[in-house]
Structure 1
Amino acid sequence: MEIMLRDWLDSDAEWYVQQARDPETLRFTTERESLTVEEFRAALHRLRHDDDALGYVVVDAAAGIRLANIAAARKGDVASVSYWVAPAARGQGVAGRALKELCQRVADTWPVTEIRLWTHAENLASQRVAENAGFIACTGDGETKEIKGRQWPVRWYRRCPARTE
């Protein structure tokens, strides 16, 4: 399956909220089970006006079916990326292909020196995705990071951006 990253539409909000409530997504991301469609649409509005943020819905290029969420945020010369894949699309290589595409867009859009990715320490699938997308593990298990007011056991990864000319 060929994938494509496309901009979020307001009409995608119900799908996003429904998919984000998946137990595995809630376990391994900062998504809230109480997220509402209105809150997501407000987040989309902020995203569209933020020069330091990129966010896309990953779709099946042929069928247009929504598969995943992927985003990047920049602070100075470092970008951080995040993603989740809808349950029906897991195990098909969606995250890896989308992550590689997002990293290219980050490199082409911003003058960053590093791209970072944090995974929950127990999320082995996401760690494999990061490594297959060229990220290098920088910490082992046991490190914690405060994310949205919660202490999370994390592994973090980094890679240098590769710009296309």
Structure 2
Amino acid sequence: MILREFTVEDAAWYAEATRDPEVQRFTADPPTITAAQVARAIEERGKNPAVASFCIEDDGERCGNVAVDVENGVGHVSYLVTANARGRGLATRALTEFVAWIFAHHEVDELRLWTHRDNAGSRKVAERAGFVRDPDRDQDREIKGSVWPTVAYAVRRRR
């Protein structure tokens, strides 16, 4: 498994990957996202040092992504794994490696993430990667026209 920076050549793959019904259950990306929109987002991320996005690859196959947006000294992490990669531990390995990369390259003391309350797989990934439940930050969020009950997680930089 490797993490590599997203490029515009990944845009069509990502747009297609988000159309998977299982991914749509738990991603904020709309099912109508286009390769052109993804390419623009990748280009914009490249201009902002507070944002990073990596493609998860395994044996040369794209399997998902991990991303972070740093704001006010806190990193907000997200991740997605495609159907072909689930159940192999790739998401946990990718998130664990990504967390180490973030702490090595960004001035943040805490990383946070949230997931849909019913997304058991994502919750397990977060916990296995060292994130701890942060119930004080749980909230209902409006996502794609629906209200999602979300649960929060956090991990702090080890000193």
TM range (shorter): over 0.9
- Give the structure-1-normalised TM-score: 0.90
Per the alignment, residue 107 of structure 1 pairs with 103
Output the CA distance in 2 between the equivalents of 1:152 and 1:104: 29
Deviation at 1:150, TM superposition (A): 5.0
Per the alignment, residue 79 of structure 1 pairs with 75
The structure 2 residue matched to 1:121, chosen from 107, 117, 120, is 117
The answer to whether the 8 Å contact 1:100/1:133 transfers is yes
Aligned to 1:42, what secondary structure does the other structure show?
helix
Output the CA distance in 1 between the equivalents of 2:147 and 2:43: 28
Output the CA distance in 1 between the equivalents of 2:28 and 2:53: 15
How much is the aligned-residue C-alpha RMSD, in angstroms?
1.7
Aligned to 1:72, what secondary structure does the other structure show?
strand
Aligned to 2:101, what secondary structure does the other structure show?
helix
Structure 2: stretches of 5+ with no match in the other structure? none
Output the CA distance in 1 between the equivalents of 2:119 and 2:44: 29
The answer to whether the 8 Å contact 1:145/1:151 transfers is yes
The answer to whether the 8 Å contact 2:66/2:79 transfers is yes
Equivalent pairs counted in the alignment come to 158
Output the CA distance in 2 between the equivalents of 1:53 and 1:73: 5
Per the alignment, residue 11 of structure 1 pairs with 9
Per the alignment, residue 33 of structure 1 pairs with 31
2:46 is the alignment partner of 1:48: yes
Bigger Cα displacement from structure 2, 77-86 vs 149-158: 149-158
The structure 1 residue matched to 2:150, chosen from 149, 154, 163, is 154
- Give the structure-2-normalised TM-score: 0.93
Output the CA distance in 2 between the equivalents of 1:27 and 1:139: 22
Structure 1: stretches of 5+ with no match in the other structure? none
Aligned to 1:95, what secondary structure does the other structure show?
helix
What percent of counterpart residues are identical? Answer: 36
